[in-house]
Amino acid sequence: MTVLPITIWGEPVLHRRAAEVEVFDDELRTLIADMFETNDAANGVGLAAPQVGVGKRIFVYKFANEDGAPPVGVLVNPVLTLSKVSGALPDPDEEEEGCLSFPGGQFPLKRAEWARVQGFDGHGQPVDFEATGWFARVIQHEYDHLDGKLYVNRLLDRYSRKAMKLAKKSGWGVPGLTWMPGVDPDPFGH
């Protein structure tokens, strides 16, 4: 297994819809194994294929949950069903998100409290489970990557302005920027 570089906001693959996986083969399973290795090295709770420069509809997660879902898993070609998102303002202490492709930034975002995800594992076998609370947030966050969205694209204006200031200050927004988990400093201080 190989740790892969993580793309940073501005890399084109992060900002377009990922393609469906059509072949479940050893190459796909190697990518999935590398994504798990990369997610672990980055201390992440989830990682989508576009975050490692691959425009395919795949994400991995590692999140202990009370929903009966495996604490570690992969979703290939997932479909998401969500509960309604509350119209309340996000709680800055309880609903703050971060993203490995927007390293170091953390901002509040309101998400659905329940999600059902259906898709396939790396062998093409069906996967179907429900997620609540923070686990639902993780699933929504990773799924967004497959549609070319980062969580910062969903922020309220006041937080969006702060995020874009961070991006500008960091020199992001251009192709070719990555960071290497296990080599570069952990942007979230784990």
Amino acid 85 reads V
Catalytic residues: 142
Is-contact 111 88, C-beta < 8 A? no
Q: Is 104 left (phi over 0), alpha (psi -120 to 50) or beta?
A: left
Tokens of 65: 């949950």
Strand 126-132: give its sheet, edge to edge.
46-48, 58-62, 72-82, 114-120, 126-132
DSSP-based three-state secondary structure for 155: coil
